[in-house]
Each structure stands twice: as structure tokens, then as C-alpha cells.
């Protein structure tokens, strides 16, 4: 446990280091009018913070820099005291993106990156968690039938089938009613869904007709990993936010390994609030020089995806946390309003 003075000094070091990227000298801390102590007391407090692993001393004559543990202490303090977090620098105008889900994801990642100059990553809802919401069966021409499947997370799949002879309109109408009555609410990978497509109580023409469209459901269920929307890599590199070339290489490696990045982001779904990992707190070696701020979004009882910011350890955590939280709130409203299950 730190005293209020030690907390103030630690926060001062973190803020100054974030702003300048240089070790913070004791004299600049002692000049803080909110500290009621002299330079010798400040030096003693800095030494105690260093002993606790919260600060580091790059060189004998240099000032102090925060360690990952020091950054973590300040971030935890922010998360436990919401009044310490600023409002996002500008409102997130996502309400205008009331169209397809992928456009909302793309708009969110682009807006986050522009606002923070960090790498913004948004994961779309996993198709493996989706259920069937609605099915349309349409006769486009006498021998051409279209099936459209809409899922609970907003994904849309369609399949077009051409038949050798004209399809009975009554069969098309029956198929639409049957599929909606029997399949809506079932998971895309559920065994029961496949069983209802081959229900032995159906007639041969009905079974044959449904069999033509069974692959559409299988394709949806086997699409695999969640989609990722990534923005800001070039902006992050151009801003010169990385001190070492190896840090840049690690970020590039991370972006190339999307499956590994998805696993990292899924960990945020299990957190009730903001998920923050600093430096070596990240399990993935490629992220040991990076920091991650993420949170989940979705419907009231189920998180569907994550909103995250990735950047150097020397990050504006207060701004990143506030921005990610607001983006997740907006996306959750979008999902609930547009794609919530009936």
C-alpha cells in the first residue's frame, strides 16, 4: 500500500514520462505545488517506490521511469476511481453507422484509431455463438430459388440454387414457413438443426428441396474465426511511438498472427469491466513491449466481441480506457437496437 504522497509522486512520474518519453528528475517532481515536501523527501520517496518495483533508474545520474508494475498501479487506481478518467476527447459518432454490422465494426476501429493515434482492433461477433434469426425462401425465376439466412448477430448468408424444372410455388412457400418454424433460435452448429433438415416425416420432394440448401447452413457454421477490424498501424508507426526497432517488429508480427491476436482479445470477454495488460503481463511474447486496453460489447446477457486499443507501454491509459469504454457502449446499443433477438 502506498501513502497518498507516494501515489501522487508515482502518478506524476507516469504523467511526465508519458508526455516526454524521458526519465523524470526529482527536481521536476519537487516543483509540483500540490506536494507539501522538499526535494530530499521526494528523493527518499522515489527510492522507496523503486524498491517496490514501481519505478526504475536507467542510469545513476538519470531520473526515474515507471515500470510495468508502476503503470499497472496507476491504471488500477484509475479503474477503481472512475472520476479520474476523462471523457472521450470527442463524442463517438457511431449512431450514423446504422447499417450492416461489418460497417459498424469498421467505423468503430477507424474512429478509435483517429482519436487516440493507437492501433484499434475490434472483433466482430463470432458466428459460432450465433443462432438462426430469420430465413427467407424466394423464387426469383421459375427454376431459380434464393435462400437468405439472417443470424442473431447480424450476419447474412445466401445461397442460390437452379433446378432442372420449374419449382412448385407452394413448395417454396412451405419451405419458408417450415424453416422459420423449425430452425429459428437454434445454434448454427447445433445437431438438431441438421436433423430438422432431414426430418424423416417429410415427403421426398420436401426433403430433396431442403437438401439443396443444407450447405448454406453448414457454410455459416464452419466459417471459423471471428473477423477482426484493424486500423491505425501506419498512424502508430508514423507517430514515432516506439523507442526500439524490435518493438515495431513485434507489433508487425502480432498483426500477421491474427489467430493469436483473437485469443488475446477473447480473454477480455471474461472480464466484467476494462481489461488492461501492460508489457510482460501479456502472455503472448510478441506483446511484451506493448500495452492492451480492451472491453467487451454485446447484449444484456451475452458479450459478442471486443473493442481494444494496442500501443506502446508509454500510453495515455486514462484516455484509452475512457475511449474504449464509450465505444463498447455505443456498439452494444447498436447491436441491441439492430440485431437483438426477438
Give the model's pLDDT for residue 101: 67
Give pLDDT tens digits for 151-185.
765 566 788 899 999 999 999 999 999 999 999 88
Please give the average per-residue pLDDT across 76-91, as a whole number. Answer: 66
**Closest-CA residue to 64 (of 44, 79, 78, 81):** 44
CA distances from 35 to 11, 41, 43, 304 (A): 12, 10, 13, 45
**Closest-CA residue to 282 (of 119, 68, 3):** 68
Threshold 0.75, pTM exceeds: no
Please give the average per-residue pLDDT across 96-115, as a whole number. Answer: 74
Q: Can you tell me whether residue 201 is helix, strand or coil?
A: coil
Give pLDDT tens digits for 131-151.
788 899 999 899 999 998 877
Give the dihedral sign, CA 251/256/262/267.
Answer: negative
Q: Enumerate domains of the chain plus CATH numbers.
A: 4-66 (1.10.10.10), 84-126+226-339 (3.30.450.40), 128-221 (3.30.390.10)
Sheet containing 132-141, strands listed edge to edge, beginning at the edge strand earlier in sequence:
132-141, 144-151, 156-162
Cell of 167: 419449382
Give the model's pLDDT for residue 268: 84
Cell of 38: 522538499
Amino acid at each position: 500500500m502506498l501513502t497518498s504522497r507516494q501515489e501522487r509522486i508515482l502518478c506524476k512520474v507516469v504523467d511526465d514520462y508519458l508526455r516526454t518519453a524521458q526519465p523524470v528528475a526529482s527536481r521536476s517532481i519537487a516543483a509540483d505545488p500540490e506536494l507539501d515536501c522538499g526535494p530530499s523527501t521526494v528523493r527518499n520517496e522515489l527510492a522507496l517506490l523503486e524498491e517496490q518495483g514501481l519505478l526504475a533508474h536507467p542510469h545513476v545520474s538519470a531520473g526515474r521511469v515507471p515500470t510495468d508494475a508502476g503503470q499497472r498501479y496507476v491504471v488500477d487506481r484509475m479503474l477503481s476511481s472512475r472520476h479520474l478518467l476523462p471523457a472521450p476527447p470527442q463524442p463517438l459518432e457511431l449512431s450514423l453507422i446504422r447499417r450492416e454490422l461489418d460497417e459498424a465494426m469498421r467505423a468503430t476501429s477507424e474512429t478509435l484509431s483517429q482519436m487516440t493515434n493507437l492501433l484499434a482492433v475490434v472483433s466482430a461477433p463470432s458466428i459460432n455463438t450465433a443462432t438462426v434469426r430469420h430465413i427467407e425462401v424466394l423464387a426469383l425465376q421459375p427454376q431459380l430459388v434464393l435462400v437468405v439466412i439472417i443470424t442473431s448477430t447480424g450476419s447474412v448468408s445466401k445461397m442460390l440454387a437452379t433446378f432442372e424444372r420449374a419449382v412448385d410455388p407452394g413448395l417454396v412457400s412451405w419451405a419458408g414457413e417450415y424453416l422459420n418454424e423449425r430452425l429459428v433460435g437454434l445454434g448454427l452448429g447445433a445437431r438438431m438443426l441438421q436433423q430438422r433438415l432431414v426430418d424423416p416425416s417429410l415427403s421426398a420432394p420436401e426433403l430433396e428441396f431442403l437438401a439443396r440448401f443444407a450447405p448454406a447452413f453448414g457454410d455459416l457454421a464452419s466459417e471459423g474465426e471471428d473477423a477482426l477490424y484493424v486500423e491505425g498501424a501506419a498512424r502508430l508507426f508514423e507517430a514515432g511511438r516506439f523507442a526500439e526497432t524490435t518493438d515495431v517488429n513485434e507489433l508487425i508480427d502480432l498483426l500477421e498472427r491474427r489467430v493469436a491476436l483473437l485469443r488475446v482479445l477473447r480473454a477480455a470477454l471474461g472480464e466484467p469491466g476494462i481489461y488492461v495488460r501492460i508489457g510482460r503481463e501479456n502472455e503472448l511474447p510478441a506483446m511484451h513491449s506493448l500495452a492492451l486496453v480492451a472491453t467487451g460489447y454485446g447484449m444484456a446477457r451475452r458479450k459478442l466481441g471486443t473493442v481494444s486499443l494496442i500501443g506502446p507501454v508509454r500510453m495515455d491509459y486514462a484516455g484509452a480506457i475512457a475511449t474504449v469504454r464509450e465505444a463498447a457502449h455505443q456498439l452494444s446499443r447498436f447491436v441491441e437496437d439492430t440485431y437483438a433477438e426477438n
